[in-house]
Amino acid sequence: MCAAAITPKPVPIVAAIPVACGVGALDPGCKDGPAAFRQYWARHACSRYAALAWEPAPGNLYMEDGTPLEIVARTSRWLAWTTRRVTQRGKRFLVIGGDQSCAIGTWSGASDALRRFGAFSPARDAMADCERMVDCEPRKELRAMMHESSLQKI
């Protein structure tokens, strides 16, 4: 078989949603995760698996002009709007965080968009199970907010 006769399979386009928020974590440096991932993806030949279409995030989204809970709430509203819009358009998406709080907006937006198909139960991995958070007051508020958000959408 001649190499010229082989047609390469098109790669899927995936919406990459960066969530550079670290205020809900014990190590706020996790906010640098999306930038590190993007740099890695650009330097390596990852495009044979998927093409990432990066969603823009508002520049003032992560400004620390409030309590951690207020910043997480603002970020979660934007993320819910973004994942809802992407899901309604029938696109696949990848949320790249940040801290565990990015699950709040992801669950909320995707479940809103998929509600017309019936019940939507988000898959939870070991890091987004919300049970490993330290029991200090701000963390208790974040954990309660994450549980409330996930339960409202199920």
- For 132-144, b where at least 16 C-beta lie within 10 A, e where not — what string? ebeeeeebeebbe
pLDDT at 146 over 70: no
pLDDT at 78 over 70: yes
Q: What is the dihedral angle through the alpha carbons of 113, 41, 68, 124, rounded to the nearest 10 degrees?
A: 50
Taking only the tens place, the pLDDT of each residue in 9-22 is 788 889 999 999 98
Using CB atoms within 10 A of its CB, is residue 75 exposed (0-12), middle (13-18) or buried (19+)?
buried
Q: What pLDDT, on a 0 to 100 scale, did the predictor assign at position 42?
A: 85
Residue 118's pLDDT band (cuts 50, 70, 90): confident
Q: Which of 102, 79, 132 is nearest to 30 (CA)?
A: 102
Q: What pLDDT, on a 0 to 100 scale, did the predictor assign at position 81?
A: 95
Mean predicted confidence (pLDDT) in 77-105: 92
- The ranges assigned to domains in the chain are 12-19+29-152
**DSSP of 66-100:** S-HHHHHHHHHHHHHHHHHHHHHTT-EEEEEESST
Mean predicted confidence (pLDDT) in 114-131: 58
Residue 138's pLDDT band (cuts 50, 70, 90): very low
- For 5-26, b where at least 16 C-beta lie within 10 A, e where not — what string? eeeeeeeeebbbbbbbbbbbbe
**Which one is predicted more confidently, 74 or 6?**
74
* High-pLDDT (> 70) share of the chain, %: 69
